Amino acid sequence: MDPWKLPISSAIQRKRLLSQSYTSHASASPSDLACADRASDVIYLLLIEPQVITSKFSVFSFLFVIGAQNAWDILLEEESMTRITTSCAELDKILGGGISCKEVTEIGGVPGIGKTQLGIQLAVNVQIPSYYGGLGGKAIYIDTEGSFMVERVLQIAEACTEDMTEYGRFLGKSIQARQVEMGPKDFLENIYYFRVCSYTEQIGLENYLDKFISEHRDVKIVVIDSVAFQFRQDFDDLAQRTRVLSAMALKLMKLAKKFSLAVVLLNQVTTKVIESSFQLALALGDSWSHSCTNRLILYWNGEERYAYIDKSPSLRSASAPYSVTSRGIRNSSSNS
């Protein structure tokens, strides 16, 4: 069967198949054709071997679409998924336990509010072993601004190790038998750091992440600090910027779902002028603000730092205070 004769929806797909010399399907199996077209192989099964599919579908017909999951199974799966703690009890409470995996969370705020600190705290907290209630995973930290300070990460990792030892002592013998195997240097070793200096490098890195994470399956969080920086200068064509950013957002979503990891994007603020008055809004525009699953806004309320859930499919809009201490992100001092 000629690729020309297959009822494929777009001429581009046909061209792609022909360019890879699939002129007759005598040798091509549906999965080869699908690989060539980078599409799901079910559509080729449907077109070339319908009798195979009808037998498969009699088993799968209750699913309608292969690869779908029903809501009840998803709920049971979600209940058992561990979240990444932020080390601040109030913040964890409004987040329903912490940052959840399989979701893209955007954290935005004015300069100096503690976005990088929160990013570093999450990169350290994801490594907390499972017997302490953490995920025991590794972190990828993508730095676009150059604000990653290793000394600070060491400080936060040391504080985390001390907290874990104390928690172990508090819990008694069962944990003590295992001792805290992780020292602060182990925390540093488990953070993969990438420094990015232009928007092309950032896009290239996001394309590479899929391959990188397939080889390092224990990565459980990707922190991008900050996602806006490289896109705010040098972009003349704003429509192209919107296209590039939405493609990037889709790739990050796919990464989060495929590898069950959390993606945390740190964003800057900009001033929006509306009818001669101005207000602060997150950078990268309106279309980007639709691209994340959850959004957390960090702001000042008097002398205190607060976090507000701006967008979430399942969490209520709420605020919580937090503070940035020498040990990292902790509960606000006025409460405790």
Q: How many residues bind other proteins (CB under 8 A)?
A: 62
Q: What would the DSSP string read from start to end of 295-319? A: EEEEEEETTEEEEEEEE-SSSPP-E
220-249 per-residue burial string, b: 16 or more CB within 10 A, e: under 16: bbbbbbbbbbbbeeeeeeeeebbebbeebb
The pair phi, psi for residue 191, each rounded to 5°, is -105, 120
Q: Does a cis peptide bond (omega within 30 degrees of 0) precede residue 226?
A: yes
- Give the SS3 label for residue 155: helix
Give me the least distance between CB of 146 and other proteins, in Å please. 29
Tell me the residue length of the chain.
Answer: 336
One-letter amino acid for residue 114 of the chain: G
The residue among 285 and 321 lying less far from other proteins, judged by its C-beta, is: 285
Residue with tokens 């025991």: 136
50-83 per-residue burial string, b: 16 or more CB within 10 A, e: under 16: eeebeeeeeeeeeeeeeeeeeeeeeeeeeeeebb
Q: Are 173 and 204 in contact (CB under 8 A)?
A: no
The residue among 80 and 174 lying less far from other proteins, judged by its C-beta, is: 80
Give me the least distance between CB of 36 and other proteins, in Å please. 13
The residue among 26 and 68 lying less far from other proteins, judged by its C-beta, is: 68
Residues 6+ apart with CB under 8 A from 3: 14, 17, 18, 22, 23, 25, 33
Contact call for residue 48 and other proteins (CB under 8 A): no
Q: Calculate ∠ Cα 47-48-51, nearest 5°.
A: 95
Contact call for residue 74 and other proteins (CB under 8 A): yes
Q: Write out the two tokens for 3.
A: 């690729």
Give me the least distance between CB of 53 and other proteins, in Å please. 7
Contact call for residue 149 and other proteins (CB under 8 A): no
Burial grade of 116 (CB within 10 A; 0-12, 13-18, 19 or more): buried
Contact call for residue 234 and other proteins (CB under 8 A): no
| Binding to other proteins in span 169-198, by CB under 8 A | none
| Binding to other proteins in span 8-27, by CB under 8 A | 9-10, 12-13
| Binding to other proteins in span 296-315, by CB under 8 A | 313-314
Give the x/- contact pattern for other proteins in 268-287, rule: CB under 8 A: ----xxxx---------xxx
One-letter amino acid for residue 251 of the chain: K
Contact call for residue 56 and other proteins (CB under 8 A): no
Tell me the window of 143-151, 161-169, 171-179, 247-255 that interacts with other proteins (CB under 8 A).
247-255
Q: Which of 51, 79, 302, 336 binds other proteins (CB under 8 A)?
A: 79
The residue among 13 and 161 lying less far from other proteins, judged by its C-beta, is: 13
β-strand pairing of 294-301 with 277-282: unpaired
The residue among 26 and 75 lying less far from other proteins, judged by its C-beta, is: 75
Give me the least distance between CB of 212 and other proteins, in Å please. 18
Q: Which of 18, 53, 89, 283 binds other proteins (CB under 8 A)?
A: 53
Residue 154 CA, chain-centre distance (Å), reads 23
Residue 333 CA, chain-centre distance (Å), reads 30
Tell me the window of 51-59, 85-93, 197-205, 228-236 that interacts with other proteins (CB under 8 A).
51-59
Q: Which of 159, 256, 282, 307 binds other proteins (CB under 8 A)?
A: 256
The residue among 143 and 206 lying less far from other proteins, judged by its C-beta, is: 206
Contact call for residue 67 and other proteins (CB under 8 A): yes
Q: Which of 15, 178, 217, 243 binds other proteins (CB under 8 A)?
A: 243
Query: Contact residues for other proteins (CB under 8 A)?
Result: 9-10, 12-13, 38-40, 42-43, 46, 53-54, 57-58, 61-76, 78-79, 102-104, 239-240, 242-244, 246-247, 249-251, 253-254, 256-257, 272-275, 285-287, 290-293, 313-314
